[in-house]
Amino acid sequence: MNRQGNPAVLAQARRRDSLDKRQRALTALTALERDDTKITHAAVARTARVSTWLTYTDGIREHIQTARHRQATTPPPPPTQGTPTTPAGLRAELHLARQEIKELRQERDRLRDALRHQLGQQLDTLHAPDPTHRVDELTRNNHQLADQLQHATEDNAALRHRTASLEEDLAAARTSLRRMIRDENLNQ
């Protein structure tokens, strides 16, 4: 055994802690349903003092969905006479309603983004050209450019040859002109 502890003991402690949290969540769900309090993942997590993430895990989520369905299909009890609504109760209900609205807005935004992404992908596939036509087009363009390059290279070589010939002619004309000027100067 090492100084940090036995891994089996640590794993067992984590399992006990996980089971305890799950049991607290189920107990809180039962209490909320019994008290006819609106059941949400946040309300169960708050009542059980666990993370909201835990309420979305398998084994808990199904119970919450079932309880929410039962709560939605069960008609509300008639209001009892003489039971005043307290400001604290109204504040708690308002807080829960705001939290649920916030969660619903986040879910709406996630769904909207997912739908937008999916529609964008569908539009991309609809308007995408057939790859074989694009390859054929690029191949034709490549051949045309190769032909143009070959013609330009041949023209360039011919122009260089012509330029060299003209430079030789110019040099010969200058030499001839110098001789003529020298001969003319000598004759005078």
Q: Which residue has the higher pLDDT, 98 or 83?
A: 98
Asked whether residue 4 is assigned to any structural domain, the reply reads no
Considering 48-57, 68-77, 82-91, the range whose residues carry the highest mean pLDDT is: 48-57
Gap between the Cα atoms of 103 and 107, Å rounded: 6
Q: Are 38 and 97 in the same domain?
A: yes
pLDDT bin (cut points 50, 70, 90) of residue 81 is low
pLDDT band at 1, cuts 50/70/90?
A: very low
Mean pLDDT of 162-176: 94
Query: What is the tally of structural domains in the chain?
Result: 2
Instruction: Identify the domain containing residue 43 by its residue range.
Output: 12-75+88-127
Does the CA dihedral 47-52-57-62 come out positive or negative?
positive
In this structure, the answer to whether residues 38 and 51 fall within a common structural domain is yes
Residues 181 and 58: their CA atoms lie apart, in Å, by: 109
The verdict on 114 and 160 lying in the same domain is: no
Q: Within this chain, do residues 108 and 68 fall inside the same structural domain, yes or no?
A: yes
Query: How high is the mean pLDDT of the chain?
Result: 87
pTM, 2 dp: 0.39
Per residue, the 3-state secondary structure of the chain, as one string, reads CCCCCCHHHHHHHHHHHHHHHHHHHHHHHHHHHHCCCCCCHHHHHHHHCCCHHHHCCCCCHHHHHHHHHHHHHCCCCCCCCCCCCCHHHHHHHHHHHHHHHHHHHHHHHHHHHHHHHHHHHHHHHHHCCCHHHHHHHHHHHHHHHHHHHHHHHHHHHHHHHHHHHHHHHHHHHHHHHHHHHHHHHHHC
